[in-house]
Structure 1
Amino acid sequence: MSLAYQIEDVRSSVGSPSISGLMDRLGVRMRYGRNEEIYAQDDEVEFLYRVVSGSVRTIRLTSDGRRQLGDFYYPGELFGLEPGPDHRFSAEALTDCVVQVLKRSAVRAFSGDAELDRAILAETHRELERTQTHLLLLGRKSAREKVAAFLMSLAGRGADTDVELPMGRQDMADYLGLTIETVSRTLTQLQDAAIVEFAATRRFQVKKWETLERLAE
């Protein structure tokens, strides 16, 4: 079925869906292996992306070769929807993942530039909130406060007792502005204090919520 027929089908059946609704009907699901690049830094912004399963990280390499970690994205979250013509960060599969991909031209063909502009504005607002949260995290006084706040943000995403930690220690270190040795040492300290418990390298439980919350404040 051609894109034109798919668009007409969406028009007749659902009226004016959101970007997410349009992605559900027209988006293509792509599979990426762990650490595989989804798009590169400075690539032209051509597609919209949404995580279906797994997780994604965004990274920017500076002119002197340093790696800056932008953020992590989880199922249901859009990414790569930028206001400029080029991607400021690259995107990589943090774990094996499935990503829904839709061309911007498909959105324009269905609902025009206004809908796309609204989606970009909404996503820009969400990205600003992410950036503010990240800056607050980086502004914490101690490594323990930074790591505690980061673990709280992950634990707050779901109601499961066991919390998945999809990123490795180096990703955590880059995101928090710490060394990998400091991150590892701090996680060990939190576990030794029975605040959290790691059943595996990338799975933990919060044992003392109030204590972790106080550290994260």
Structure 2
Amino acid sequence: MFDAAPAHASVALQRRAAISADTGHRLDHLLTGPVVTFSPGREIYAEGDKSGALYQVAFGVVRIYRLLADGRRQICAFQTPGEIFGFESGAQRHFFADAVNLVGLRVLRPGSEAELSHELLKLALSSLDRAHDHLMNVGRNDAAGRVAAFLIELADRQDSRDSNIIDLPMSRADVADYLGLTIETVSRVLTKLKVAGIIRLDSARHLDVLRWDALENMTA
């Protein structure tokens, strides 16, 4: 399944900025108070809580998820530094949010600055785009393709393609719950990628990509 032959062409780099510099400057005065820290696993908000505030990730990674009727957890998104989350269509939260690792957040309270409404809409639509991409990944790819697409997504969001380094702040269980796989399947795919010479696993939370073309070819 995994071709470890030398690459003959470079893969085009596709990066999507989490938030433009101009938008960031314009939102700065709406981000109130100091950076609030959350220890790993600490809840930021729960399903059913009153909605309203948005949050910008200063550092760390936030996990957005729902609990299914049978008690299983479905992770819907990971929020990384610079990104804003907490958009809701109603008066109550529809998801849980908690800290994957040590997280710092700044609070944004929309509604008082009408001229920024279109900027917030852009950010909400960007989050929606990522959700659609995730659904396409889970719906069209096999297990290996899902893991490969996830690694590419992380690299693009971390802007780390040039360095070939991907940090994995989340656990294998988190990755499995995000991709609709089991922990064993995620670990097995990563091991196959390593044996095929596509990635190098420096540790459980850090890897180097050796073959971007092979990783790309595994995705739908």
Q: Is the 8 A contact 1:56 1:93 kept in 2?
A: yes
Alpha-carbon distance, 1:115 to partner: 4.4
| Unmatched tracts of structure 2, length 5 or more | 1-24
3-state SS of 2:148 partner? helix
| Unmatched tracts of structure 1, length 5 or more | 1-16
CA distance in 2: counterparts of 1:127 and 1:206, whole angstroms: 26
Letter in structure 2 aligned against 1:147: V
Aligned length: 193
Is 2:91 aligned against 1:85? yes
Aligned to 2:16: none
3-state SS of 2:140 partner? coil
Moved over 4 A (4+): none
Higher relative contact order (CA 8 A, sep 6+): 2
3-state SS of 2:146 partner? helix
Letter in structure 2 aligned against 1:150: F
Aligned to 1:173: 176
CA distance in 1: counterparts of 2:67 and 2:118, whole angstroms: 29
Please show how residues 1-217 of structure 1 align to structure 2 within 5 Å.
Answer: 18=26, 20-24=27-31, 26-104=32-110, 107-108=111-112, 111=113, 114-115=114-115, 117-156=117-156, 157-159=158-160, 160-217=163-220
CA distance in 1: counterparts of 2:209 and 2:152, whole angstroms: 9
Bigger radius of gyration? 1
Q: Is the 8 A contact 1:81 1:120 kept in 2?
A: no
CA distance in 2: counterparts of 1:214 and 1:115, whole angstroms: 43
Query: What's the Cα RMSD here?
Result: 1.8
Question: What TM-score do the two structures reach when normalised by structure 1?
Answer: 0.82
Alpha-carbon deviations, 1:88-138, whole Å to 9, x = none? 11110111011111334xx52xx2xx3465455333312321221011110
CA distance in 2: counterparts of 1:37 and 1:191, whole angstroms: 34
Richer in helix (by share): 1
**Greater mean alpha carbon deviation, residues 36-45 or residues 155-164:** 155-164
- Using the aligned pairs only, state the percent identity: 40
